[in-house]
Structure 1
């Protein structure tokens, strides 16, 4: 005789109980899907955080650095406009007639002047500040090397005026340094002079530990002996700090500054 209860099919709209192994499989799949959902949400969150970090590093730090450098540039030009250079003084403390003013001695953090490189833009200008620490360069300036070699200043009789600046973020003042080539002009503007250099050679890539590129007679530059040189350095490739690139130039002319601060021909737009 057949058991009516076991033979009775499920009523329409109702599902018969699945076997235990099928129910276990469904639970495992449900847990796996939940875990994947959580992982997806975490990845989306991580992507947003990374996107915000990139925006901060490559955009907002540029905005902050440009504001800081612009304010410092205005202050420096205001100081220049305030009066003449301090005259040189004799041991007794009075000015010595007929003796030109002694060059100012600059300390780390002091603003020196401005760097103009037409190959990086017709109106390209960057404030020059003593020092190459992160704190200095993050202000959107070109920093003067103090170590491993103390850079010579443009008015010194010989030496290498070596500068560094960020290529990306914090003003990215040397972002287009790879656009500078042999024969291009590089001009340093101080309170009283225009120092005009001509690029003699470039180095696309070298180790970040290659300190010789900023030596008084820079290694691999092609210079055989002392001279009045300028060196511009930055990180490469773009968005990394793995290597360094360098641009080297030599002084070709010094122009006196007139009352109107008329730029040299190399900086005049046609």
Structure 2
């Protein structure tokens, strides 16, 4: 009968391999748990926080406009009421200045001394009935100061609600409240409302550009027209609204664009 001899060196090597495999498994498991927590934070917790904050800001705006106080603020004086935007001769109002900063005293008013919106302050409410969406609009498109709060951001240099030209907005499609996640579902003639302290402006969706370059600045021009996708956009002046967000979902490689035209304005 032959005896199987196991050398101590062989046992040590086997034990070492077992320890390496066990340690590697523990590391992989730990990394997996951390990644799951990060995904949960990004996709659930940031949404929850941003949506709650945006809802509170909408309520604060409504309270202040109704004379009930609150910290959210005022908007610039409305443009002259365009009874028929499609046939009216557009005026040339001065766009909101991107140089308008925070109030010197750190106050919460969202309008400067000249009536223009202050940087990162909510001053309007965007309502899209088809998407059951109602979110604050703030000046600027900074991620930490505006978009990550669940707000929709107004592109500095574009026009304000009701003015001739293009009232252009940006919003997250995923995480941080994702207000623009489903704007690809909007169809022609769907209603978009923009409410300020003084008026409610009603736009109707006109067309969608499913995908364009992130550098396609023409889509937010005064007469919005893609410089990358010929044939998408407008050639004549008018009263426009533009919604922009990232596409495909969970990436920021391209931009999805929805355009609308002003239908009416009514005093608030």
TM-score, normalised with respect to structure 2: 0.76
Match of residue 237 from structure 2: 226
Task: State the 1:192 CA deviation.
Answer: 2.3
Match of residue 74 from structure 1: 59
Match of residue 122 from structure 2: 111
Match of residue 18 from structure 1: 5
Q: Distance in 2 between matches of 1:155 and 1:181?
A: 21
- Match 2:216 to one of 204, 207, 210: 210
Give the SS at the match of 1:134: coil
Match of residue 142 from structure 1: 152
CA RMSD of aligned residues (A): 2.3
**Could you tell me whether the CA contact under 8 Å between 2:192 and 2:202 is conserved in 1?**
yes
Task: State the 1:176 CA deviation.
Answer: 0.9
Match of residue 265 from structure 1: none
1:86-125 counterparts in 2 under 5 A?
104-121=115-132, 124-125=133-134
**Could you tell me whether the CA contact under 8 Å between 2:150 and 2:177 is conserved in 1?**
yes
- Name structure 2 gaps, 5 residues minimum: 69-73, 78-113, 227-231
1:126-137 counterparts in 2 under 5 A?
126-135=135-144, 136-137=146-147
Matched, 1:49 2:34: yes
Match of residue 94 from structure 2: none
Select the structure with the greater relative contact order (CA < 8 A; seq sep ≥ 6): 2
- Name structure 1 gaps, 5 residues minimum: 1-8, 11-15, 89-102, 258-270
Match of residue 152 from structure 1: 159
Larger C-alpha radius of gyration, 1 or 2? 1
TM-score, normalised with respect to structure 1: 0.75
Is the alpha carbon distance of 1:19 and 1:50 closer, same or farther for their aligned partners in structure 2, counting shifts above 3 Å? closer
- Cα offsets for 1:77-129 (capped at 9, x unmatched): 1211118x89x9xxxxxxxxxxxxxx9321212222111112212xx211111
Count, aligned residues = 220
Q: Distance in 1 between matches of 2:262 and 2:174?
A: 28
Task: State the 1:72 CA deviation.
Answer: 1.8
Runs of 4+ that moved beyond 3 A? 23-27
**Could you tell me whether the CA contact under 8 Å between 2:169 and 2:244 is conserved in 1?**
yes
Task: State the 1:189 CA deviation.
Answer: 1.3
